[in-house]
């Protein structure tokens, strides 16, 4: 009898063990399925990487918005027209010096134009001056090299060595090239002046009553000055009044 009871006990124990194994087998796929679903949802929420074409389109849209908005405020037609004047002024000066100044107008425009073109004329004369010396030394150096050191130009007889002649030639070439850079800088300064003048003239109201007034006045003297036997507590002076 005990043998039968022991066999029945083993039978029920094996049934319980198999039932636990089956439940774990069912639980593991369910948990994996939940995790996979969460991962797939996370992938859907990740932002798609921006392509080059999309980035260009976004930057273009932002610049277009900046053109018509200022700090989220829509610009009116007057503001857009004023900004267009500033852009037109410096672009015209970039194309032709003085054109932007004529566009801005004003009573000093006919003073600015001679200054601008006077600078270019001065730059040209300076360039021609240094280039003349450069060509003079180059020709003399080439002649001495071709003729075994014989001298041709009487003005350059003081240069006994060929090395000194070549060094002087290089210096004159450097001066000539610096004149070209200065001319480019003068052109750029003309563009900057046209832009700044348009900004001050059209965008900011600086008024017509700028200046200062000088009036005579009496200035109180210090106690130390009074101790040095000055008979008056006040001294004559000038008062400056600036209007902005």
Beta-carbon neighbour count of residue 135 at 10 Å?
Answer: 14
pLDDT in tens, 44-55: 455 567 788 888
Q: Does residue 27 sit in the same domain as residue 106?
A: no
Q: Does residue 152 sit in the same domain as residue 238?
A: no
The number of distinct structural domains making up the chain is: 3
Q: Does residue 27 sit in the same domain as residue 7?
A: yes
Query: Please, are residues 95 and 110 in contact by the beta-carbon 8 Å criterion?
Result: no
- Average pLDDT rounded to a whole number, residues 111-121: 95
How is residue 238 written in tokens? 């000038």
Is 114 contained in some domain?
yes
Q: Does residue 231 sit in the same domain as residue 110?
A: no
Q: Does residue 97 sit in the same domain as residue 143?
A: yes
Round to whole Å and give the CA distance between 51 and 58: 11
Q: Does residue 100 sit in the same domain as residue 160?
A: yes
Query: Please, are residues 193 and 112 in contact by the beta-carbon 8 Å criterion?
Result: yes
Q: Does residue 227 sit in the same domain as residue 163?
A: no
Q: Does residue 16 sit in the same domain as residue 98?
A: no
> Buried b vs exposed e over 167-188: b needs ≥16 C-beta within 10 Å?
ebbeebbebbeebeeebeeebe
Cα of 122 vs its chain's centroid, Å: 29
Q: Does residue 96 sit in the same domain as residue 200?
A: yes
- Domain encompassing residue 151: 76-206
Higher pLDDT, residue 30 or 99: 99
Is 106 contained in some domain?
yes
What percent of the chain shows pLDDT beyond 90?
32
- pLDDT above 70 for 69: no
Is 113 contained in some domain?
yes
Round to whole Å and give the CA distance between 111 and 128: 26
- Average pLDDT rounded to a whole number, residues 86-91: 88
Is 69 contained in some domain?
no
Question: Degrees (nearest 5) of the Cα angle 144, 148, 150?
Answer: 55
Q: Does residue 236 sit in the same domain as residue 189?
A: no
| Nearest one of 165, 140, 141 to 153, comparing CA atoms | 140
Q: Does residue 94 sit in the same domain as residue 194?
A: yes
- Average pLDDT rounded to a whole number, residues 105-115: 90
Round to whole Å and give the CA distance between 37 and 11: 40
Q: What is the pLDDT at residue 65?
A: 66
Is 52 contained in some domain?
no
Q: Does residue 222 sit in the same domain as residue 179?
A: no
Name the band, by pLDDT with cuts 50, 70 and 90, for residue 56: confident
Query: Please, are residues 237 and 217 in contact by the beta-carbon 8 Å criterion?
Result: yes
Burial, 221: exposed, middle or buried (Cβ in 10 Å; 0-12, 13-18, 19+)? middle
Query: Please, are residues 144 and 157 in contact by the beta-carbon 8 Å criterion?
Result: no
Q: What is the pLDDT at residue 60?
A: 77
Residue 221 phi/psi, 5-degree rounding, is -90, 160
Between 24-28, 71-75, 88-92, 234-238, the lowest mean confidence (pLDDT) is in: 24-28
Name the band, by pLDDT with cuts 50, 70 and 90, for residue 221: low
Is 194 contained in some domain?
yes
Is 51 contained in some domain?
no
Is 172 contained in some domain?
yes
Q: What is the pLDDT at residue 98?
A: 94
| Nearest one of 135, 140, 191, 177 to 162, comparing CA atoms | 140
pLDDT in tens, 129-170: 999 999 999 999 999 898 888 888 888 888 888 898 999 999
């Amino acid at each position: 009898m005990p043998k039968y009871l022991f066999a029945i006990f083993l039978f029920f124990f094996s049934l319980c063990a198999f039932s636990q194994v089956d439940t774990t087998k069912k639980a593991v796929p369910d948990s994996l399925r939940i995790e996979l679903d969460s991962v797939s949802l996370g992938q859907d929420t990740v932002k798609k990487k921006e392509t080059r074409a999309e980035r260009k389109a976004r930057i273009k849209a932002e610049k277009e918005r900046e053109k018509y908005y200022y700090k989220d405020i829509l610009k009116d037609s007057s503001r857009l027209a004023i900004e267009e004047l500033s852009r037109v002024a410096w672009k015209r000066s970039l194309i032709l010096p003085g054109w932007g100044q004529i566009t801005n107008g004003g009573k000093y425009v006919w003073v600015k134009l001679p200054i601008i073109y006077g600078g270019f004329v001065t730059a040209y004369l300076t360039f021609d001056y240094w280039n003349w010396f450069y060509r003079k030394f180059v020709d003399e150096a080439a002649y001495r090299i071709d003729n075994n050191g014989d001298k041709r130009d009487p003005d350059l007889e003081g240069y006994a060595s060929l090395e000194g002649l070549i060094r002087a030639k290089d210096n004159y070439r450097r001066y000539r090239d610096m004149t070209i850079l200065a001319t480019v800088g003068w052109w750029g300064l003309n563009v900057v002046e046209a832009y700044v003048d348009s900004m001050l003239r059209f965008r900011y109201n600086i008024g017509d009553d700028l200046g200062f007034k000088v009036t005579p006045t009496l200035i109180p003297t210090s106690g130390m000055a009074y101790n040095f036997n000055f008979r008056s507590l006040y001294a004559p002076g000038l008062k400056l009044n600036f209007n902005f």
